[in-house]
Amino acid sequence: MLINRKSVSLAQIRERIKAALPLKEEPQSLKQKMQEITHRFQKAKAWNDPKKQKRLEKLLMQMEAILAED
């Protein structure tokens, strides 16, 4: 097996990788976004910030209100 040993620039490598990767799928559904955000919040440091805690509490209350409408 012969190996082509010509030098390739980093930009060319990136272009080849980009071309080889599949195109992005359709935008995430609302359900998928919610799952991703929930996962990110579990790892976030927002829980230790009192200002962020208050904002999160307000958002959670709004979400609960939306669910209570059903």
In a domain, 34, yes or no: yes
In a domain, 36, yes or no: yes
Residue that wins the pLDDT comparison between 6 and 31: 31
* Res. 67: pLDDT tops 50: yes
The range of the structural domain enclosing residue 50 comes to: 28-70
- Cβ-Cβ contacts under 8 Å for 47 (sequence gap 6 or more): 53
Residue that wins the pLDDT comparison between 70 and 32: 32
Which pTM value belongs to this model? 0.52
In a domain, 21, yes or no: no
In a domain, 32, yes or no: yes
How far is 9 from 15, CA to CA, in rounded Å?
10
- What does the pLDDT read at residue 1? 41
The most distant pair of C-alpha atoms in the chain lies apart, rounded to whole Å, by 67
How far is 25 from 28, CA to CA, in rounded Å?
8
pLDDT in tens, 28-60: 788 989 899 888 888 887 778 899 889 989 999
In a domain, 19, yes or no: no
Give the number of domains in the chain. Answer: 1
